Structure formats: structure tokens, C-alpha cells
Structure 1
């Protein structure tokens, strides 16, 4: 597809992902507003609980607190802009803001996937080598692993932003480019471009695939060893306790990695815009919302710390 003479590096994008919905805009607005507020409140509460309760000052909860901060960032990059567009008749976003949203979305999203993989390593050490858990997974190592996740994510994102910036987009008579999505995601931006995007597609499958392969391999290998260790535990109670410590993490692994692989690593001709929209809603809104509840509802330590925080708040007041 060739570019018209009026094609531009910096058009105005119209985010029309919900324009075809046959429901009043007030309904998705109230739904996403409730999701965003609940996500922020849930993750802030989890961060406060882990920070204030000494019983939760362990490597697993240190990583979980970092994951909650990332989830708040991921939601904040997407949902406030979406809420503003749902009440607007002109859901426009200039190219600079669009690419900025893309950058921060990718940074938070990729960091999320890497931290989830690090948490699998944490569960491996806790179950397969419990005697050395606190000496191996100490605070310094966890901090280094979190920092490494951020560095890798930023470098990865800068590569894809660098490949995106030279592209051209052919707009309408007013210079607007229709983007059938609710935020500036990678695939919709590439579909809307009139430039040659082979290098972008190649980078997604090669560099992006390699970046996914490493964490996925770490998770799979960790849980193979965890499963073998659990099967050799002598007591049924010990096996149930070990499984319960991994259930929440495995739920989020399947949820988050499954939707990302569905969107980004299918051949382009197999992707549909509606499928992309559904999957994007799942990993940008539902996963950050679910994380604090999945990791806390069946966790006795977190529930006990939460009740303690509430009791302390009543005493302080």
C-alpha cells in the first residue's frame, strides 16, 4: 500500500474502538470508571498492607508490591484517556500523545510480564529449596531483578517506538486517521499505516518473540520442577499448601500471557480487530483489576494484615 502525497508522520488519530458499540456511551463510561477506581483502590490497598505489615516483608510480597505499582501505571496509561473519549464526540489524540501512550503502555505491559516470570522463580525457590529461600531470594536480589525488568522493558519499547516513528499515515481531508481501537496499540497503528511495515512485523515476531520466550521458558521450567517437588512431598497437607501458594500466580500467568500471545504473535492475516479489542480489554483493564483480589482473597496473611490495617485506622481516628 502506497502513501498519498498528504501522508504524514504526525497525524491526528481518531480512536473509534467503541464507536460501533450499540449501547449508550454512558454504560461503558460507568463500567470503565468503576473498573479504574476499583483497580487503583485495590492496588493501593495492597501496597499499603505490604509496606506497613512486617509479616509481609518477604521476597514474594516485595515482588507483589512492585507488580501492584506496575498495574496501577498500566491502568492509568489507558483508562483516563478512554473515559475522556467516551464522553467526547471527537475522540482525537495527536500523534505525539498517541506515541507517548504507546511507549508507556509497552513499558508497563512488558515489565508486568517480566515481573510475573520473576515471581515464578520466587515460587520455585520457595518450594524446591525452602531452606535457602531467604538467603537466595533476598531483598537485594529482588530489587536487582525488578530493576532489570524495567531496563529490559524500556530498551524493548524504545526499539519498537524507533521503528514506528518513521512510518507515514494517510489521513482524510482534515488530516485525521481512523484507528479502530480504544488506545494506541501496536497492531492497530501498523494496520493504519500506509508505509512498508515488514521490519515492524519482523521485530514483533523475532525480538518480541524472543523476549516472550525467555520468561515463558522460565515459568514452564519453574513449574515443572515445582510439580515434581510437590508430588514427592510426604503429606497431603503439605501438597495442598504448596499448590495453594502457586494457584494465584498460575491464574494470572494464563490470563496475562494468553491474551498477549493471542494479540501479538498470530500471523497478521489471522488477526481480527474485534478479537484484538476483546483481548486488549482483558490485559489492560481486567488483569490489573484482578491482581490484588486474586493474590489476596485466598491468602490468610494478606487478609489478616488487611483487618489489622482497618483496625489500626479505626484506632488512629
Structure 2
């Protein structure tokens, strides 16, 4: 049986009842103001029915655009980055872009260009929660870069889109202080990262002048590391903390385990808070008091900012994405 011929733009035009030029405008993303949305919908429906795919190589040669962006994240196993990707991909689709997801090296070293040439394959790069030095391979190609959850003073990025982690820490500190806690341990992420450095500084500033004692224990971003760090804090020979403020929900879950293993009740003997509001925050008992980070909204804003840069705009750094405190059963006044 002979292979069925691949449908062409001419076939799509015939099926949709429009000119071939109109099809080119639609798939070249140049239809705005020139073709009605009703006709665009008809062309795309005809393309889906026929199984038509535009010739991306030819379009790249013609327009100089690949309509592809790279999203670089620290890890693919973290639920936050999955939600971030969904936000990026949703807005990218609105602009006719595809998104390639790429994890940065786990050792924190420079990310390797996953392509023969990033400049020939990508229009732009979005990178979340990492130092821009990791992205030197892409910067060398002069590709527009938008950073997410990163240092806004970084001159290497065209723009930076951040969550309001400062306000998140302030809300957590105010919550614990309002409950009466004055001995607080910070279970801090032991990573060289702008977002975690900001959290440490903000917490110290928020507790300054309140009479509260602050102890810091560092941990990798795993449940077991959080458990070990919490055990060190709770077994300290000096006054035991009455609250553990954790940089990440998995660290907080580890802290819950540490308290249980030491015979302490949460929240009666020690309060525990997280950060991110991952699914696991409501899968434990007691459920975690935490800060909700709207990852999808951050992804959407990041992609809109990158699209603006690619269109020749200079969007600057938008206002931080608001976060919210979610109070659940893991916090209460100290005994």
C-alpha cells in the first residue's frame, strides 16, 4: 500500500476555503489584524483534520524564528517546576511557541547546550531559581534570557520575574510571633541560591527587635535532610525552639517526622511551617501551615515577559507575583 502523501498548506487552504496566503499568515503567527479569529479557527481546524504540520525548517529560514523557547529548571522531580511549566506552556501556545524543558546539572555547574547550536534552535530561554552563571553557554549565543525566582539585580538577564518570597517570609514570621513564639529555628536550604539567601535575610530582619531567638540549621532539599536538621535543632542543649520555620514543604515534612521520633507533639510542643504549598502539605497530619506560591502564574508572567522581549520590547522587571499564607493545623501557641 502506498504511503499517504503529507498534506500541504495548499490542501489546508482548500479544506478551509481560504487562500494559501491566509494559511501562511495563520501559521506564521502574522494574522493579527489581518485575518479574523473565525477564519483562523477554521484554518487550524482544517489543519488538525488533515494532520497538517507546518515546515518549521522553512519557516525558520524565512522568518529567522524557531518559535521554540527553553525552560531551564533545577529539577524535574519537584512539583513546583511542573506547575511552572504548565503556566509557561499555556502562554507559549497562545503566542505559537513550543517549550522544551531542560533540567540544569545537579552539581550546580554550567548547563551544557543540549543542541548543536542553541542560537539555531531557540528563540529565547527562561530559567528558574538558579544563578545566571549556569547559563553561560546560552548567553554566549546572545539568546534573550528571562530569569524566574532569581536576583533582579542581575544584568545578564533581559528581565526577572519573581515571586514575593520576601512577603511570604514576613507573613510566616508575623504568624509565629502573633501566636507567642519567641524561640524559632530556621530549617534553611543549604544551597547557594538568591531565593534562599533572601529568605534568611528577611527572617532575621523580621525577628530583629522582637525579643525572639533565631537558630539556623541548614539542609539539602530532601525530607530526610529536613528530619536530620530538625533533630539537631530540637536536641540543642540550649532552650529548645518552640517553632520550626522551614524553607520548603519537604523539609517541613521531615521536621514533622523528627518531632514525632523525639516524642514531641505538633503543634502542642512545637509548631512547624513550610513553604510552597505542595500537595504533600495536606497529605500529612497535621496539615502544614505554609506559604502558597502560585507557580503557574509565575510561569505565565515569565513567558509573557519573554514574548515581549522577543517582540523588541523592554518590559523591565514586573512587580513580584503575590504569595499567600495558608494556616493549617501544624501551628499553635507554644505550650
TM-score tier (shorter): under 0.3
TM-score using structure 1 length: 0.26
Relative contact order (C-alpha < 8 Å, sep 6+): which is higher?
1
Which structure dedicates a bigger proportion of its chain to helix? 1
